């Protein structure tokens, strides 16, 4: 029964149209594009790419599973981010691209495919130290996300049933690849938008992912 | 009788305290720094206390020619360990060390492929502070970045005291994520108790993309950057 409800919800998610910020093509093409962005800089004068420093595949394999998490940027910029939001920040900073969403979405798809099968563990990267202060900030984000979810989503969707659908993003709708952040932004046009790159989006996703600890990245609902 | 029991108990308690495991154990971060090819790389290992990238610089040490370093800490906790070496992109590592324990880590550095985007230290000078009547020395360092994206890591390290300092920019900067200006950065050192020796000072600068200057050590005469072949 629960599986049936989840499938219906996912079908609803998939049936909505015209996602802003989406990437035309298949998910496989996006992953390939993401690998390209990961391995080569767009600026020939500055050939340092993501993979120049993060060259070890074992290092990055657990990244998708660990988001949302606290990103320790210089104060006061540090905050809980989704993988897409963290990639946007990194692409803007390292590649100097003013419109970083598309490259960041592609890199997110690539890192998510790299992390396929890893157990979801928000805030914790396998083999890395666990910082209690960061987990406390993440817990605050989850609580904010739960309040937002209650106001915006719960009347139609039970969180426990819907949460596994969060593992299916980025996903393809009508030949367009869309992020979970963009989906959440456009899903309730009757309410003030969350902002795909805002803290509020990260909070709702942190809440949903908190219900998925231990499940596999890229797993079926 | 009571006095004897009390004295013996006190002595036993003090002995237990003195010989308890970890009572005198140092809190230490040790490590080895290598290039991707495996060879050891000398340089600097500098620490922020607390969350990484908070720009609250604390201790530091030189990484020797065998790539080894050791930093003794006052207390355990969370630190941002940044490792720098001439010709390499600096490596930030968030670490956690428990009080009384030693954390041993390996750091692998990647060469900066062109050096064309690295910030440059143009000159360093040590001058007595006129305001403080000889009780302070001002270190001035002129820095430029070809891309105008300097970050807050305009750093001075005093090997005599093991202290790391972020130098003060030539003008006020809005936030740590802002692009820091080119120009003369300053650091005032209290020399009222002991003079400071320029031979002990080492300097390094990084931009927001982790591009890093060569480490400038005494006699603080900058040389053209060299590309290191991996």
Any CB–CB contact under 8 A between A44 and chain B?
no
Give the residue with greater pLDDT, A30 vs A19: A30
B120-207 under CATH 2.60.40, yes or no = yes
What does the alpha-carbon distance between residue A210 and residue A24 come to, in Å, rounded to a whole number? 30
Class of domain B27-110: mainly beta
Across residues A178-183, what is the average pLDDT? 94
- Each residue's pLDDT tens digit, A2-25: 444 444 444 444 444 445 566 667
Q: Within 10 A of B50 (CB to CB), how many other CB atoms are there?
A: 17
Close Cβ partners of A27 (under 8 Å, ≥ 6 residues apart): A109, A170, A171, A172, A177
Tell me the C-alpha distance between A112 and B176, whole Å. 30
Tell whether the model's pLDDT for residue B8 goes beyond 60: no
Say whether A45 and B53 touch across the interface (CB within 8 A): no
The structure's pTM equals: 0.87
Domain boundaries, chain B: 27-110, 120-207
Give the range among A180-184, A185-189, B215-219 with minimum mean pLDDT: A185-189
| CA nearest to B211 within chain A | A48
Per DSSP (E only), the strands in B26-167 are 27-35, 43-49, 57-63, 68-73, 77-84, 88-89, 91-97, 102-111, 120-128, 136-144, 150-158, 163-166
Whether residue B68 has pLDDT greater than 80: yes
Minimal CA separation from A125 to chain B, in Å: 12
Size of interface A-B (CB pairs under 8 A): 64
Cβ of A135 under 8 Å from any chain B Cβ? no
B140-157 pLDDT, tens digit per residue, is: 999 999 999 999 999 999
Most B-contacting residue of A74, A79, A129, A136 (CB-CB within 10 A), to test interface: A74
**Residue B102, min C-alpha distance to chain A (Å):** 14
Q: Give pLDDT tens digits for B96-135.
A: 999 999 999 999 999 999 999 999 999 999 998 877 677 8
Give B186-200 pLDDT, tens digit per residue.
999 999 888 899 999
């Amino acid at each position: 029964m629960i599986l049936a409800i989840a499938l219906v919800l996912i079908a609803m998610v998939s049936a909505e149209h015209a996602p802003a910020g989406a990437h035309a093509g298949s998910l496989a093409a996006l992953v390939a594009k993401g690998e390209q962005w990961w391995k080569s800089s767009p600026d020939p004068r500055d050939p340092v790419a993501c993979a120049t420093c993060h060259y070890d595949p074992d290092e990055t394999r657990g990244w998708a599973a660990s988001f949302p998490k606290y990103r320790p940027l210089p104060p006061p910029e540090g905050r809980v981010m989704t993988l897409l939001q963290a990639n946007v920040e990194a692409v803007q900073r390292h590649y100097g691209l003013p419109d970083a969403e598309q490259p960041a979405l592609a890199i997110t798809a690539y890192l998510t495919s790299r992390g396929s099968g890893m157990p979801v563990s928000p805030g914790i990267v396998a083999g890395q130290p666990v910082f209690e202060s960061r987990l406390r900030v993440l817990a605050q984000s989850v609580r904010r996300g739960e309040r937002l979810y209650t106001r915006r989503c719960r009347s139609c969707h039970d969180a426990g049933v819907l949460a596994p659908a969060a593992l299916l993003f980025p996903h393809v709708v009508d030949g367009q690849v869309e992020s979970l952040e963009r989906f959440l932004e456009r899903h309730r046009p009757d309410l003030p938008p969350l902002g795909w790159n805002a803290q509020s989006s990260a909070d709702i996703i942190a809440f949903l992912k908190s219900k998925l600890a231990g499940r596999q990245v890229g797993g079926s609902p | 009788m009571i006095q004897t029991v009390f004295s013996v108990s006190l002595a036993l308690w003090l002995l237990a305290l003195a010989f308890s495991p970890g009572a005198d154990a140092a809190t230490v971060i040790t490590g080895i720094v290598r290039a991707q090819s495996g060879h050891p790389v000398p340089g600097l290992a500098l620490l922020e206390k607390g969350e990484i990238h908070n720009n609250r610089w604390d201790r530091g040490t030189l990484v020797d020619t065998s790539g080894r370093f050791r930093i003794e800490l006052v207390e355990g906790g969370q630190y941002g360990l940044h490792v720098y070496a001439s010709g390499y992109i600096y490596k930030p590592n968030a670490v956690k060390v428990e009080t009384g324990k030693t954390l041993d880590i390996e750091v692998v550095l990647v060469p900066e492929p062109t050096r064309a985007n690295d910030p440059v230290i143009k000159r360093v000078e040590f001058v007595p502070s006129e305001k403080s009547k000889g009780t302070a020395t001002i270190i001035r360092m002129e820095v430029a970045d070809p891309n105008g994206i300097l970050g807050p890591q305009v750093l001075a390290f005093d090997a005599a005291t093991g202290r790391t300092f972020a130098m003060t920019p030539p003008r006020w900067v809005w936030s740590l994520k802002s692009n820091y200006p080119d120009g003369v950065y300053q650091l005032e050192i209290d020399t009222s108790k002991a003079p400071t020796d320029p031979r002990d000072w080492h300097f390094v600068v990084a931009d927001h993309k982790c591009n890093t200057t060569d480490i400038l050590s005494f006699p603080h005469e900058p040389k053209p950057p060299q590309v290191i072949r991996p």
